[in-house]
A and B are shown apart, each in its own frame.
Chain A
Amino acid sequence: MIPIEFFLAFAAILFAIGAYGVITKTNTIIVLMCIELMLNAANINFIAFSGFLGDAMGQVFVIMTISVAAAEVAVGIAILLNAYKIKKTTETDSLTCMRW
């Protein structure tokens, strides 16, 4: 049996990588991918605690999260495509019109 700390450490590392990518990368597609990484880090935590506590509810939530994440990616990519049509770029630094 692998101790739960390993899972948690792995998820934390994964989350940190994702967060680092969201903050530093200027390409919006990579930012989206990094968000997926963070999401998966949370999923791993769910699974780990589910196994640790012997409760299936965590796994149920993971399945739901994955389906919601799929929809979310579809919406995100659609927004991105439209933004690209207008601005001819996907750089986050240039997409700053949503402010005062």
Chain B
Amino acid sequence: MFIEYTWLVPLIPALCFVLVGFFGNKMGKTGGGYLAIAGVAVSCLLSVLISYEFFTSAAYASPGYYTESMTWFTFPGGFEITIGFYVDTLACLMMMFASFISMLIFVYSLGYMGEEGKRKRRYFAEVALFVTGMLGLAISSSFIEMFIFWEIMGLCSYLLIGFWSFNHPEGDDKADNAASAAKKAFLVTRLGDVSLMGGLFVMLYAFGSLDYTVVFDAANIASVDHNLIIIACLLIFGGVIGKSAQFPLLDWLPDAMAGPTTVSALIHAATMVKAGVYLVARCFPIFCEASSVMLLVAVIGGVTMFFAATMAMNNMNIKKVLAYSTLSQLGYMFLALGAGGYMIAIGIETGDTALIAAGSLGYTAGCLHMVNHAFFKALLFLCSGSVIHSTGTEDMREMGGLGPKMKVTSITMLIGSLSIAGFPFFAGFFSKDLIIEQALHAADYGTAGWIFIVLWALAIITAFMTAFYMFRMWYMTFRGPEGPKTQHCHGESPKSMTVPLMVLSIFAFGFGFVLLFGFDGLLSINVDLATGQFFVGGGHAEGLEYLVEFFTNPWTYLTIVLVIAAIIIAKFMYDKRKINPGKFNKNGTSWLYRALASRWWFPELYNQVSWKLGYGVARGVDYVDRNIVDGAVNGLSNAVVGSGDILSKAQTGNVRNYAAVVLGGIVVLFVVILALFYFMGGL
């Protein structure tokens, strides 16, 4: 009834983009903001209805998806590019949370961007397109369609990160940063996109089609060269690394903080970086072909998780801390997916059903953490936006003691911080502990199991660091002595900003409970060992079993103790000020502090690479272009013009010369013909 109209879900925001883009300034003071909100709200409602219909339909049990598509165009070689939609539980999940969170962020933007005047038209048009990209990505029925929406998001991230400025005006650091950050985000993700495109070409070559139904079909996977699939997976994962800002392409995301805070919330929570996680979850059937690919996913995730968390420890910018925490949490998601996929891959090889069921938990953990993270990170970013809106600064040293003045913001941000830190019974606790458990579980299998022990240890240390830096941020902002900007802050933000915060904080607290009440089946993946076919959904509704599992596992208590310890340390350092943080880092002169402050020299490395290598290559290309390509073209034209110049000298304008030439020519012709007759006896 509704599911046939799934294509409307991305189309409605796209329509809003067009309408707001052209007529936004005629739609009153908000510049089309209400239309954009209405559009996303309709999409959200529609996706809930579609999801409900899908879960109650026969297609949910078998074949696990509902898809409709039509031919877009056909290549001469017989390749057919189709366009359509593909609804399964993963797509439903993405649609619902992306549209819901985007809607709240749009409402919040009414207040946050309230003073932007005419520029609101551009803002609301671009965010509507951004959401189109994400929703389209979620329901795509083929890789090529997915890639189109993927690129739309790349474009929108560029446009929105550089919202304040695309130029580099002299002496305006903020505009300069915004323009550089936008370029950096675009170029770094482009590096990944090239890799993804390569992966798609390999897949097209291997499968002869990019439709999900074809590529994820067990019989087709079995008939294709195994190595080709592994190459395709690695290339696709390269694209994921760029989009989700994983090691080593992680540096664009902290810089992307130069955009408006609402855009950061959108990029980090609802769209953009989640696309990478989604793609890995979507590609499970082919990624699970090789345990080594999944191991790589887990290692990249684990490394990013740890390094990003360290960088958040000493940053003074409230948004940058949140940006690093996003990187770190994305790392957790990839660790979960990698660990789960690793077990599934080994389970398929050895035919171990129990191991596949265990690996499926990794998928559940990754997807649940993705949604949980969307809720609490949107909440945290919007809270930080509320603080920035009120104080006019992003530097936490200038804040402090804001709690009594901004009660709603401080309480909702506390809920978000507890959730991301993994405090028991908050949403983040369930998913994060499941991830940590998965990492340890995966260590028992395969020859590379010991790597998971390391990743597990990193995950536990990162959980501690997460709690510490989040509460460092919270205490520095809302507790302790009042900072210089606190005295003249504007007080609490308007209703349009606080209401979304309250709604989000409910989800940030409670979303983890879906795991306990039978919805985990919706977040799971299963493999039919007989055919090797993957099914998203269905699954293993263990419900309250999870609680037993959590609290009979001694390591859960370790993480809880570490989290509480980290919160207490942060309280003593930044609220009570009993411990001076300066004595651990020699007041900011120790090498570790400097390494963290300069982001482990990542930007430096990027610059070196791009200057030495990129600039060198660019110069070489420029030289070839100027001297060889242009040289050939210019040389040809010079030759033509030059010979024309010389030949035109023959045109004297004197008829007698012309007559002489004609006559001479005839004589020569005549002599030649005579000679031919004479020597050859005829023509």
Contact = CB atoms under 8 A, between A and B. Distances in A.
Interface of A: 19, 22-24, 26, 31, 92-93, 95-100
B660 A97 contact: no
Contacts of B659: 19, 22-23
Contact of B654 (A22, A24, A92, A100): A92
Interface string B398-422: 0000000000000000000000000
A99 B656 contact: no
A92 B663 contact: no
8 contacts: A23-B663, A92-B655, A92-B656, A93-B654, A96-B653, A99-B651, A99-B652, A99-B653
Contacts of B648: 100
A24 B660 CA distance: 9
B611 to A, nearest CB: 53
Nearest to A97: B653
A23 B658 CA distance: 9
Nearest to B663: A19
Contacts of B655: 31, 92, 95
B239 to A, nearest CB: 60
A31 B663 CA distance: 14
Interface string B626-668: 0000000000000000000000100111111001100100000
A98 B663 CA distance: 20
A44 B413 CA distance: 115
A100 B645 CA distance: 10
A92 B653 CA distance: 9
A32 to B, nearest CB: 11
B656 A96 contact: no
Contact of A96 (B654, B660, B663): B654
A96 B651 CA distance: 10
A26 B656 contact: yes
Nearest to B659: A22
A99 B647 CA distance: 13
Contacts of B654: 92-93, 96
A23 to B, nearest CB: 5
Contacts of A19: 659, 663
B656 A23 contact: yes
Contact of A98 (B653, B656, B660): B653
A66 to B, nearest CB: 22
A82 B653 CA distance: 18
Nearest to A22: B659
In the A-B complex, the 3 residue pairs with the smallest Cβ-Cβ separation, listed nearest first, are: A96-B653, A99-B653, A99-B651
Given A95-B655, A99-B652, A100-B648, 10 more contacts: A22-B663, A23-B663, A26-B656, A31-B655, A31-B656, A93-B654, A96-B654, A97-B653, A98-B653, A100-B651
Contacts of A93: 654, 656
Nearest to A25: B656
B670 to A, nearest CB: 12
B651 A23 contact: no
A23 B653 contact: no
Nearest to A98: B653
A55 B653 CA distance: 42
Nearest to B666: A19
B651 to A, nearest CB: 5
Contacts of B660: 23
A96 B655 CA distance: 8
A99 B654 CA distance: 9
Most buried by A among B652, B656, B660: B656
A24 B659 CA distance: 10
Contacts of A23: 656, 659-660, 663
A34 to B, nearest CB: 10
A23 B656 CA distance: 5
Contacts of A24: 656
A100 B651 CA distance: 7
A91 to B, nearest CB: 10
B668 to A, nearest CB: 14
B642 to A, nearest CB: 15
A19 B656 CA distance: 10
B665 to A, nearest CB: 12
Contacts of A98: 653
B118 to A, nearest CB: 59
B653 A22 contact: no
A98 B658 CA distance: 12
Contacts of A99: 651-653
A30 B658 CA distance: 17
Contacts of A100: 648, 651
Nearest to A93: B654
Contacts of B652: 96, 99
Nearest to B644: A100
Interface in B266-290: none
A98 B651 CA distance: 9
Contacts of A95: 653, 655
Contacts of A22: 656, 659, 663
Nearest to B651: A99
A26 B659 CA distance: 12
A22 B666 CA distance: 15
B659 to A, nearest CB: 5
Nearest to B661: A23
B181 to A, nearest CB: 59
B643 to A, nearest CB: 14
A13 B431 CA distance: 113
A80 B309 CA distance: 97
A10 B37 CA distance: 103
B472 to A, nearest CB: 83
Contacts of A97: 653
Contacts of A31: 655-656
B669 to A, nearest CB: 15
Interface in B42-96: none
Most buried by B among A22, A23, A24, A92: A23
A26 B663 CA distance: 17
A98 B660 CA distance: 17
Nearest to A26: B656
A96 B73 CA distance: 64
A8 to B, nearest CB: 14
Interface in B178-222: none
Nearest to B664: A23
A93 B655 CA distance: 8
